[in-house]
C-alpha cells in the first residue's frame, strides 16, 4: 500500500509540474528547439515576418499586437486580428466568414475561416503585408 501511495504522489507531482509548464507556453521567452529565435508559441513571431518592418521580439507575444499600427475599428481584409493568445491577418471574407492566415495554427501556417469571437483588437499595419 505504501508503494502505491508513493507512486501516486510521484505521479501527482509530475502531473502538477507538467500542467504548470503548459500554463506558461504562451510566454514569448520559451523557444522551440531547432528554430533560431522562434518561440514555442510562435504566432506573434510569424506575424513579425508579415509586416513591412519587424517591430521586435516583444511582438512574439500575441497580445502585444493589440498596440501595433492603428485601430482598424473592426474586422476588414488586411487587418491584423488579435486574440489574447493568438494573432493573425485577415486575408479574405467568403460566405459570411473571415479568412485568417496565422502561424502556429495547428503547429503550421494556415489560412482558413476563423471565428473572430473573443478578438481583443483589429489593427491596421503601417506597411502593407
The answer to whether position 129 is within a domain reads no
Model confidence over 31-59: pLDDT tens digits? 343 445 788 899 999 999 999 889 999 99
Q: What is the domain extent for residue 61?
A: 2-124
Tally the domains of the chain. 1
Q: What are phi and psi of 38, to 5 degrees?
A: -85, 125
Residue 21 has pLDDT above 60, yes or no: no
pTM (two decimals) = 0.70
The answer to whether position 117 is within a domain reads yes
Model confidence over 63-102: pLDDT tens digits? 999 999 999 999 999 999 999 999 999 999 999 999 999 9
The answer to whether position 79 is within a domain reads yes
Amino acid at each position: 500500500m505504501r508503494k502505491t501511495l508513493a507512486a501516486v504522489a510521484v505521479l501527482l507531482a509530475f502531473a502538477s509540474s507538467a500542467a504548470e509548464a503548459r500554463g506558461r507556453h504562451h510566454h514569448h521567452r520559451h523557444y522551440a528547439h531547432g528554430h533560431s529565435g522562434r518561440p514555442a508559441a510562435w504566432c506573434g513571431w510569424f506575424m513579425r515576418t508579415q509586416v513591412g518592418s519587424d517591430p521586435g521580439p516583444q511582438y512574439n507575444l500575441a497580445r502585444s499586437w493589440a498596440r501595433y499600427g492603428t485601430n482598424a475599428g473592426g474586422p476588414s481584409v488586411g487587418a491584423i486580428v488579435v486574440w489574447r493568445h493568438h494573432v493573425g491577418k485577415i486575408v479574405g471574407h467568403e460566405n459570411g466568414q473571415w479568412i485568417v492566415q496565422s502561424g502556429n495554427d495547428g503547429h503550421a501556417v494556415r489560412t482558413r475561416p476563423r471565428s473572430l469571437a473573443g478578438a481583443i483588437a483589429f489593427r491596421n499595419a503601417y506597411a502593407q503585408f
